[in-house]
Chain A
Amino acid sequence: MKKREKRQKEQKNTFREKMAESLDTSKEVILDSAKLTFVGNRELVVENYKSISEYNDNKIIIEANPSPISVSGEGLTIKGLARELLYITGKIKALEFKKEG
């Protein structure tokens, strides 16, 4: 049952992906996934995130689609926090997409 669900979901994603490709529109809108923009290792803009689940100087964990994002580094500050936009500055060392669940 679980497996089937998962497969369905994957299929759904691929279908959406195909649709996005054929329609030639931005994928993050169709797939409802986060869009990350780096400026070197100093700035990171996360669009379309869900929420912040952990925040301190060295680590920020952001809930987003399709999987939570973990940003680690030194002296991380959130320069801007709006509904759909998260603007992080600091010395970013690593970024990880965590497994779901």
Chain B
Amino acid sequence: MINKILAFLRGSVILEAEGDFLERFLNICSNRGIFLGDIERISGQKIKAEIGIKGFCEIRPIAKKTRTRVRIKKRSGLPFLLHRYRKRRFAIVGIAVFFVILGYLSTHIMGIDIIGNQRLDASQIESGLKEFGVYRGAALSSVDRKLVQNKMMTKFDDIAWIGINIKGSRVYIEVKERLDTKRTVDKDIPCNLVASRDGQIMGLEVVSGQTMVKMNDMVEKGDLLVSGAMDSGVVGIRYAHADGAVFARTIYKKSKKYPLEFVEKNYTGNAKKRYSITLFGKEIRLFLNNKLPFEYSDQKEEKKNYYIISDKFFTIGTSKTLYSEYVPQKKRRTETEAASLGKTELAHELENEIGNKAKVESRNFSYKVIDKNTVEVTAEFVCTEDISQKSVIDKTENMDYN
């Protein structure tokens, strides 16, 4: 295989030699180190042979010596091809441009994939990367992965670790974010504990600092709970790092209005599918009728994207929209029905909002008829949670905590 490729690159000639002393001709050729291949005798005084271009150049004196007439039968190989196409300048320019583009595309960043970021925005990370020389179009050789890694980790506090992998012309950024989002204040910086939410104090576990509230006190958001500035009365104010937990009873409340009249969808079972293709950011419809297929219908769109080079421009996407027909029917529900619907919906929403940060003690629901057609449902959750939040003391301000 390799031999064939090399032979093609070097180029060869199939020649016909005619004469009385062909054996002598062959012997001299082999003695001079000219390689002949595929020698075939055509007739008594004629042979056919394959010879390399280099060898062919040296053959003339031998042919003269042995009185052999040499004729070229066929030329093959790259040198002849190039010779034949030497006048097609633009084809050569095209080939050159092809290689230049290929070279450019394979040595420059053609796309950045960021995975693993949850709180940080991808665009934020991208702009950070751009600052350190990782952006679409940057030369791959100029990317110093260790340096970028370190710089990114110092620039973004939330990044615990960042991995930069270069595969081909794509850069894969793997981000691991810090587990704790709460910006902790260093132990040696004086700070206060303030309330992060309105509530009633239920428990105090103060490690350091001066407690400013009592049990069962009502506090508002931003109120000082534990002071880091301690006035001993003798040497003046001493600043300390207040620490501890302040548990309070807090209330989470949510209300929503529900109309008593509503529209129910009765699906007829009729459905229609429509397809479209997205090419380079433009949508191409694969259907002719622009109108909606049904008067009343739900639309569900399924999108699939295939990436070629980068994630934005060179994208081929397909989308399938499913229209399912329904007949609208006006219905009326009773107040209690609306209330129970509101109860489940609001409870779900509130629970999502509270999550892990507080413990729910009791759940209260109530509803009230506003007018003939609307009912307002209110959910109230009573929780206990640690409402202490550290806030650094600005010493330039002379604050009076009493």
B-binding residues in A (CB < 8 A): 51-57, 77-83
Contact = CB atoms under 8 A, between A and B. Distances in A.
Interface in B8-61: 22-23, 26-27, 29-31, 33, 35-41, 44, 47, 49
Given A81-B30, A82-B30, A83-B33, A54 B39 contact: no
Given A52-B26, A53-B23, A78-B36, A83 B31 contact: yes
A77 B41 CA distance: 7
Given A51-B27, A52-B26, A53-B23, A82 B38 contact: no
Given A81-B30, A83-B31, 15 more contacts: A51-B23, A52-B27, A55-B22, A55-B23, A55-B41, A57-B41, A77-B39, A77-B40, A78-B39, A80-B35, A81-B35, A81-B36, A81-B37, A81-B49, A82-B33
Interface of B: 22-23, 26-27, 29-31, 33, 35-41, 44, 47, 49
Contacts of A54: 23
Contacts of B47: 55
Contacts, number: 46
A48 B47 CA distance: 24
A51 B32 CA distance: 12
Shortest 7 CB-CB contacts between residues of A and residues of B: A78-B39, A81-B36, A51-B27, A77-B40, A52-B23, A81-B30, A82-B35
B41 to A, nearest CB: 5
A98 B26 CA distance: 21
Contacts of B40: 77
10 contacts: A51-B30, A53-B23, A55-B41, A56-B44, A77-B40, A78-B38, A79-B38, A81-B29, A81-B39, A82-B35
B41 A79 contact: no
Contacts of A55: 22-23, 26, 39, 41, 47
Considering residues B23, B26, B29, B31, which has the most beta carbons from chain A within 10 angstroms of its beta carbon?
B23
Nearest to A88: B39
A52 B38 CA distance: 15
B248 to A, nearest CB: 96
